[in-house]
Amino acid sequence: MTSAAAQTTLNGFGAEPIWLLLVKVVAVFVFLVVMTLFTIWLERRVVGRMQNRIGPNRVGPQGLLQSLADGLKLAFKEDIIPVMVDKPVYILAPILSTIPAFLAFSVIPFGPRVSVFGHHTALQLTDLPVAVLFVLACSSLGIYGIVLAGWSSGSTYPLLGGLRSAAQMVSYEVSMGLSMVAVFLTAGSLSTSQIVAAQASGAAFSLFGMSLHLPSWYAIMLAPSFVIYFISAVGETNRAPFDLPEAETELVGGFHTEYSSLKFALFFLAEYINMVTVSALATTLFLGGWRAPWPLSLWAGANQGWWPVLWFTAKLLIALFVFIWLRGTLPRLRYDQFMQLGWKVLVPLSLLWILLVDAVRVLGAQNYSRSKLMVILGIPLAIALLIVFLWPERKPPVDVEPGPEEVTFPVPPMDLVVPPSPALAATGARSPALPGGSTSVDVIGDSPDA
């Protein structure tokens, strides 16, 4: 085991003084709140740039304090509670969404072991042998707040938004969990710190007489897992183009339609903290965690001291930028398309990729040469691709005029006149003219009294 990997064993966690643990808890809390405020500002600026707008630029330098001002405004707004709500559940729902979002970040490593007031400690609140499963469990608990918010509101649109969130979580939690299995098989651990340590050993080669050592990031080695994870993470966090639970064109505001003031702010906070959490988990599992990227990794001190916090934050911001980029670029999916993508595309691809990775590991353990691996795995893959591409496409049905006895969708007649309103009919006035000078439009009915 390398020295870097030895630094990230689980034995050192839990032995720190109480005051140091409290400092770490406060640091994680402040980091998440600051990242939430910054992400909101960044999203408004980036989307404004995409849409040829300025974005927030009044409160603070370059508008950096606009998110803080909006949060204070929400906190001090009047808290309106509808009469028909189930009040205890209505109040508990935003809390259930926010607390798991904070807890999930407790196992994310920010850096290696450092010295804090003479105590050597890892830049991580804690770690577990099943730390990644702990993050998944916290993200699963957060959905209860959304479902209960929709149910307790006593309104139709919030209930539909809560049901959509439940179905969405079940669909994309499966594909997200399956996308991590290849990482677990490759790293040999479910601990976040040990997964980061497993990505430290990379490929060494010589270029122009200089020895280079590139980190083996799983985003490159396990690229299909990384793509499936990121798509699932966007769906898991209810972000565009997968923001079906709060689609304003269909559900007004979705599960939080009946919420205002601080309770609405908690839902808003939970959404952005979940974005930060899944981005941090993507950084940890696939982008080398806090380790410096090449060519910064050539510097001997890049992965020592407090510098790794900077590399970790930079990778985190790049992942958050992709979330914002997708929102400003892609339209919202239709709900059946969204569910079809999760169950019929992402889940089967994840299962096939896990089988492929496991087959490579088993054959590699049996000392198969690279040529034999290419033959054993390449021939079935080529056959599968040929079947996919050569399978005859189902042609769409040809449009045929329906017969008189066939059942068709009702179509309003095109030659009917708008019946005048009773008030106009009593006075003898004419109906107001429509654009183009006409006084009639197409309606369903057989007489003016219809």
Cα–Cα distance, 281 to 269 (Å, whole number): 18
Write out pLDDT tens, residues 360-377.
788 777 777 656 666 666
Write out pLDDT tens, residues 112-157.
888 888 888 888 888 888 999 999 888 888 888 888 888 888 888 8
Instruction: Using the predicted structure, report yes or no on whether residue 215 has a pLDDT greater than 70.
Output: no
Domain-located, residue 400: no
Instruction: Using the predicted structure, report yes or no on whether residue 441 has a pLDDT greater than 60.
Output: no
Residue 79: give the domain boundaries: 15-202+213-386
Write out pLDDT tens, residues 19-61.
888 999 999 999 999 999 999 999 999 999 998 988 898 898 9
C-alpha 369 chain-centroid distance? 39
Confidence of residue 378 (pLDDT cuts 50, 70, 90): low
How much is the mean pLDDT over the chain?
Answer: 80
Residue 162, SS3? helix
* ω into 241 cis (within 30 of 0): yes
For residue 300, the model assigns a pLDDT of 77
For residue 213, the model assigns a pLDDT of 53
For residue 170, the model assigns a pLDDT of 81
**What are the residues facing 116 on neighbouring strands?**
119
Domain-located, residue 426: no
Domain-located, residue 8: no
Instruction: Using the predicted structure, report yes or no on whether residue 239 has a pLDDT greater than 70.
Output: yes
> For residue 411, what is the DSSP state?
-
Domain-located, residue 410: no
- In a 13 Å sphere around the CA of 49, the CA atoms on its Cβ side amount to 9
Instruction: Using the predicted structure, report yes or no on whether residue 313 has a pLDDT greater than 70.
Output: yes
Domain-located, residue 375: yes
70 against 8, higher pLDDT: 70
Q: How far is CA 295 from CA 110, 212, 213, in A?
A: 20, 9, 9
Domain-located, residue 321: yes
- The domain total for the chain is 1
Write out pLDDT tens, residues 257-283.
888 888 888 988 988 999 999 999 999
For residue 408, the model assigns a pLDDT of 57
Q: Are 164 and 335 in contact (CB under 8 A)?
A: yes
Integer Rg of the chain from CA: 28
CA dihedral 60, 61, 62, 68 (to 10 degrees): -30
For residue 45, the model assigns a pLDDT of 93
Residue 285, SS3? helix
Q: Are 4 and 112 in contact (CB under 8 A)?
A: yes
Residues in the chain, overall count = 450
Domain-located, residue 421: no
Question: What pTM was estimated for this model as a whole?
Answer: 0.78
Domain-located, residue 422: no
Q: What is the mean pLDDT of residues 77-93?
A: 87
For residue 401, the model assigns a pLDDT of 56
Q: Are 149 and 90 in contact (CB under 8 A)?
A: yes
162 against 425, higher pLDDT: 162
158 against 401, higher pLDDT: 158
Instruction: Using the predicted structure, report yes or no on whether residue 440 has a pLDDT greater than 70.
Output: no
Q: Are 274 and 101 in contact (CB under 8 A)?
A: yes
Give the type of residue at 133.
L
Write out pLDDT tens, residues 387-404.
766 676 666 665 555 555
Q: How deeply is 58 buried, as exposed, middle or buried, from its count of CB atoms within 10 A (0-12, 13-18, 19+)?
A: exposed
Residue 358, SS3? helix
Q: What percent of the chain has pLDDT over 70?
A: 77
